[in-house]
Structure 1
Amino acid sequence: MKINSVKGMNDVLPTAEGDSVAFNGRLWERAEAVFRDVMRRYAFDEVRTPIVEEAQLFSRAVGEATDIVGKEMYTFEDRSGKKLLALRPEGTAGAVRAYIEHGLPMRDPVQRWWYFGSMFRHERQQKHRYRQFYQVGVELFGVAQPEADAEVLSLCNAILVDLGLEGIELRLNSLGDEQCRPAYLELLSAFLRERREQLCPECRDRLERNPLRVLDCKNEGCQAVVADAPASHEHLCAPCSEHFARVRASVDRLGIKYRLDKNLVRGLDYYTRTSFEFLASALGSAQQTAVCGGGRYDGLVKQLGGADTPAIGFGMGVERICALLAQQGVPAHAPALFLAIGDEAAREEVLALATEARSKGLAAEADFRGGKIARQLGRADKRGARFAVVIGGNELASRRAKLKDMRGGEETEVALDELVAEVARRVGG
């Protein structure tokens, strides 16, 4: 019986193309290389937290009233039946749990972390929205100053620039804090209640539980209503207003363009003050154009049992990044040297030469199936090899072989003992 993958959970393969090209492993490798390089330059350290956590971690951190916890989280009881576990739907809660559990607020409250891994949400599968999806995320703990917000925005922007992605717009907002947000929520709730009948059924429910979420609704009727809603960044207390002004000034100084978006609230309850998204119109639907989103969550560490610790972070969708990269074309992973087997006696020599090439940093491939030389060289051409060589009985006897340039077709006789060095010289040149 044939068994297929679970709906909404995708394989990443080097052969993926067409509608599945966002899951081409070569694009993922390119993206991850940029992630790692930028994180190194910004002095962020990699962390890896479990995929499975106690479900209450997310209900407390993300919010009971959010769609993530209420509708989308994969939960299950452990074997003892005493704990409810969950596949992580996002990365921040687990990072905060680890930060607290390992006593870091007492040892060194300033931690600069990043991670790359899979998240899970049981939602309606559609393009750019999957049930298993991957995020690269950043969490900066222990720094309250607005320059940290700008630094995180700069880091995210650096990733997009280094990937060569264009046409991506940064949107900024401030949600205030525990001092000014309650008054704003009252103002917003009063505005929405007057227009309750114009809201979709889901937003009428949100109005009572979490009115901020109405601002994020993609229903056209609700969008028309909130177009005139009061803006949170225009109803900030003095400290929050100053913080946001300094964030904007720093972003301006860095030359990063942005647009204020009063409806930008994000989908998680833990955000305070700065919130942001990077949107790519090339992804299509307005519901699926965010390639990165995040903000400040100064109260979350304390909420989960730690010390009062400021923090800011973001999550970036890897599938969406790779969908944008695919528009530039899939990079080739071509071997520098392809070794074809002329006869059975050459197998050990071919293996030794391939191993020597790899030890020198060259990508090398050998076709150990052997067989017709034309077929083997056809594979070398298909693989995009830079050079190819056939090793058989004559080559073993003379200790010389013809190195073929697969681009121009020229052949050069080279001693087997100098073959790898010659390929390295030509590739380097």
Structure 2
Amino acid sequence: MSFSIPRGTQDILPGESEKWQIIEAKAHDLCRRYNYREIRTPIFEQTALFARGVGDTTDIVQKEMYEFKDRGGRSLTLRPEGTAPVVRSYVEQKMHGWVNQPVKLYYTGPMFRYERPQSGRMRQFVQFGVEALGSADPAVDAEVIALAMEFYKELGLHNLKLIINSLGDKESRESHRSALVNHFEPRIDEFCSDCQARLDKNPLRILDCKVDRDHELMTNAPSILDYLNEESREYFKNVQTFLEEMEIDYEIDARLVRGLDYYNNTAFEIMIDGEGFGAITTLAGGGRYNGLVEDIGGPETPGIGFALSIERLLMALEVQGVDLMQEHDDLDVYIAALGEKARNKVPALLHQLRAAGFSADADYMDKKMKGQMKAANRQQAKYVLILGDDELAENKINVKNMEDGTQSLEPLENVKEKLMTGVTEKGEK
């Protein structure tokens, strides 16, 4: 019997997994600089959390969730996104009572959506996201956007385009909602069944429809920007001012609504502009979600965040020719042994080197010396320690610098110091 990987998932093999580690290290370092702290939530949650938090009119809840019953008959769902679980934890763990506010959190981890797999879109995918809870200051909106933009730039991406919009506060959205209903209702039978259902539940989601996006009523639909009250207009203007002062370029798109029901006020997407990336050009998206904490049972708490796909990021890096492995560390030391006594000494010597902080490996396939040297070259070892029975009898070992070909015979007890100096000097060049 043979087995194959489930559709929409992937094995990340050595050679690729290092790229993920580099990206994750960048995320950790950047969030440290922005003073965001890591949170880890369960991979599955109560199904009701996503129906309540994400919105029961969204495609995620209606079509894409991996829902199952446990042995107690409880309905559980593999998390399709990260914000609702973070907010659930914020409420359950009473983070609103923490001394330091706003509470600034970030996460990385797998998400699950049952949709048609395609390039850059998997059924199991990994997101990096941040959430800032507790502040309604537009400066926090700008900070969250800046963090996302900086993440991409520090990894080497270019031709990025930031799109922003305001969805307004509750009052503004109600006014816009009425205008949308009046606009679409007379001809709603020309739209898909999803849009027809959304007309009463959430007409704003009609603007996000992929099926009817070319319908003439879409192009002249009422703009949310025409229905913003004075407070929402001022808030959006302040976000723009902060971005301009940070020298972050942006474009305003009144049709940007995002795909989740909980957004209000600031909404944004980061897109890649250029050839070779296919139809999916959005790299990251996010926005403000004042009201979500209350929907999940917590106190009135403003919040904003974003999420991005690591898989889509890797696609963009490949298209733009960014080599994350260029600065990836090669093997520090490879030990080549000749003779039974020398081979028996290798495990202890490897252990000592690894404990001292070196990346080190040796032959476990009983290769001849020539084969061992080829293996060291394939792994791009900086140094090869060559140990034979004769050298071992004298308590010495040959140290070969693989970059310049120089070789010296060193006492075994001095080899760590010799390597420490050499590896450090090579790292500084």
Interval containing the TM-score (normalised by the shorter chain): over 0.9
Select 1:44's aligned residue among 15, 29, 36: 36
Q: 1:24-35 counterparts in 2 under 5 A? A: 24-35=16-27
Q: Return the TM-score normalized by structure 2.
A: 0.92
Alpha-carbon offset, residue 311 of structure 1: 0.6
Distance 2:242 2:344 in 1: 61
Q: Return the TM-score normalized by structure 1.
A: 0.92
Distance 1:393 1:38 in 2: 50
Q: Give the secondary structure class of the aligned counterpart of 1:158.
A: helix
Select 1:125's aligned residue among 117, 136, 155: 117
Decide whether the 8 Å contact of 1:337 with 1:362 is kept in 2. Answer: yes
Alignment RMSD (CA, Å): 1.9
- Which structure 1 residue ranges, 5 or more long, are not aligned? 16-23
2:422 matched residue in structure 1: 426
Select 1:378's aligned residue among 374, 379, 382: 374
Alpha-carbon offset, residue 254 of structure 1: 0.4
Alpha-carbon offset, residue 197 of structure 1: 5.9
Decide whether aligned partners of structure 1 residues 195 and 341 sit closer, same or farther in structure 2, where only a CA change above 3 A counts.
farther
2:88 matched residue in structure 1: 97
Distance 1:285 1:196 in 2: 31
Q: Which amino acid aligns with 1:84?
A: S
2:223 matched residue in structure 1: 231
Distance 1:325 1:375 in 2: 35
Distance 1:134 1:223 in 2: 34
Decide whether aligned partners of structure 1 residues 60 and 220 sit closer, same or farther in structure 2, where only a CA change above 3 A counts.
closer
Distance 1:413 1:255 in 2: 57
Select 2:305's aligned residue among 290, 313, 324: 313
1:329 and 2:328 correspond = no
1:272 matched residue in structure 2: 264
Distance 1:425 1:120 in 2: 47
Q: Which amino acid aligns with 1:363?
A: S
Identity within the alignment, % = 38
Distance 1:341 1:211 in 2: 72
Decide whether aligned partners of structure 1 residues 395 and 192 sit closer, same or farther in structure 2, where only a CA change above 3 A counts.
farther
Decide whether the 8 Å contact of 1:27 with 1:325 is kept in 2. Answer: no
1:284 and 2:280 correspond = no
Decide whether the 8 Å contact of 1:341 with 1:368 is kept in 2. Answer: no
Alpha-carbon offset, residue 200 of structure 1: 4.3
Q: 1:296-311 counterparts in 2 under 5 A? A: 296-311=288-303
Select 2:347's aligned residue among 328, 348, 351: 351
Q: Which amino acid aligns with 2:312?
A: R
Q: 1:406-421 counterparts in 2 under 5 A? A: 406-421=402-417
Alpha-carbon offset, residue 198 of structure 1: 5.5
Distance 2:122 2:273 in 1: 19
Q: Give the secondary structure class of the aligned counterpart of 1:240.
A: helix
Decide whether aligned partners of structure 1 residues 304 and 324 sit closer, same or farther in structure 2, where only a CA change above 3 A counts.
same
Q: Which runs of 4+ in 1 moved over 6 A?
A: none
1:367 and 2:363 correspond = yes
Distance 2:357 2:149 in 1: 31
Distance 1:43 1:49 in 2: 19
Decide whether the 8 Å contact of 2:191 with 2:212 is kept in 1. Answer: no
Alpha-carbon offset, residue 111 of structure 1: 1.0
Q: Which amino acid aligns with 1:3?
A: F
Q: Which amino acid aligns with 2:373?
A: L
Q: Give the secondary structure class of the aligned counterpart of 2:30.
A: helix
Distance 1:208 1:404 in 2: 75
Decide whether aligned partners of structure 1 residues 370 and 216 sit closer, same or farther in structure 2, where only a CA change above 3 A counts.
same
Q: Which amino acid aligns with 1:277?
A: E
Q: Give the secondary structure class of the aligned counterpart of 2:232.
A: helix
Number of residue pairs matched? 419
1:60 matched residue in structure 2: 52
Q: 1:397-408 counterparts in 2 under 5 A? A: 397-408=393-404
Q: Which amino acid aligns with 2:316?
A: L
- Which structure 2 residue ranges, 5 or more long, are not aligned? none
Alpha-carbon offset, residue 214 of structure 1: 2.3
Decide whether the 8 Å contact of 1:168 with 1:278 is kept in 2. Answer: yes
1:261 matched residue in structure 2: 253
Decide whether the 8 Å contact of 1:342 with 1:370 is kept in 2. Answer: no
Distance 1:198 1:416 in 2: 82
Distance 1:137 1:209 in 2: 28
Decide whether the 8 Å contact of 2:333 with 2:383 is kept in 1. Answer: yes
CA displacement, residues 47-97 of structure 1 (integer Å, 9 cap, x when unaligned): 11111110000000111111000000011111011x211111011111111
Select 1:396's aligned residue among 379, 392, 395: 392
Decide whether the 8 Å contact of 2:330 with 2:380 is kept in 1. Answer: yes
CA displacement, residues 209-244 of structure 1 (integer Å, 9 cap, x when unaligned): 322222223347536642332321332111111111
Distance 1:371 1:338 in 2: 13
Q: Give the secondary structure class of the aligned counterpart of 1:368.
A: coil
Alpha-carbon offset, residue 357 of structure 1: 2.5
